[in-house]
Amino acid sequence: MQASTIQMMEPEKASDILERMEPDEAADILDDLPEAKAQELLDTMQEAEAEEVAELLEHEEDTAGGLMTTEYVSFPPTLTVREAVERIRTEAREAETIYYIYATDPGERLCGVLSLRELIVADPDQRLAEIMTTEVIQAPPEADFRTVAELFTKYNLLALPVVTAEGEMKGIVTADDVIHRLVPMLWRQRAAKKYL
């Protein structure tokens, strides 16, 4: 229904709406449109937003890369807790969720993770490197939905980083994205069993 509505709008108005959406949601809508229409809307969007959405469209829909959002919070591991909290207040307003803080190096390679709770209760002068977990549960962009859902369940995650083989962090899959994909599947299975 969203794709049909967007398709009927003037390109400028449709692109304005897509720019205000989370990149993963905008990518889902564009993925449901004919390729020519999707490209027209991408061309009409502001460059930064269009690049984020185009990157997400490169991945198959039911993979970690297709489910992820590129809006997450990451800081260098050398930052102090105090500096990280201040940067969250000023810079992280656009992030879809802030359940975890990811530590990344200048090449955006994932170094570690800590929860927002861990950040809040830590000594303000500690460095993120001192309190972060370096063994991070993660998935490659090509991981299928089943693998992603199993990781969420097994490790009780709220978000899962999507990381390339080279260690570069590309985005996160959030628990709500998994639930949105899982619930319709469960309802279809339930309906099929009812009529068998």
Q: What is the pLDDT of residues 101-131, one digit of tens each?
A: 999 999 999 999 999 999 999 999 999 999 9
The predicted pLDDT at position 54 comes to: 86
79 and 27, same structural domain?
A: no
175 and 79, same structural domain?
A: yes
Q: Collect all residues with Cβ–Cβ distance below 8 Å to 15 and sequence separation of at least 6.
A: 41, 44, 45
Residue 42 phi/psi, 5-degree rounding, is -60, -40
Our count of domains for the chain comes to 2
Domain limits for position 13: 2-58
Q: Which amino acid is located at 35 in the chain? A: E
The predicted pLDDT at position 30 comes to: 87
CA dist 169 and 177 (Å) reads 18
Q: Which amino acid is located at 4 in the chain? A: S
CA dist 132 and 136 (Å) reads 10
Kindly report the average pLDDT of the chain as a whole number.
89
Which of the residues in the chain have pLDDT under 70? 94-96, 184-196
Residue 65 lies in a domain: no
Other Cβ atoms less than 10 A from the Cβ of 80: the count is 16
Closest to 170 (Cα-Cα) out of 90, 92, 76, 65: 65
Residue 196 lies in a domain: no
150 and 82, same structural domain?
A: yes
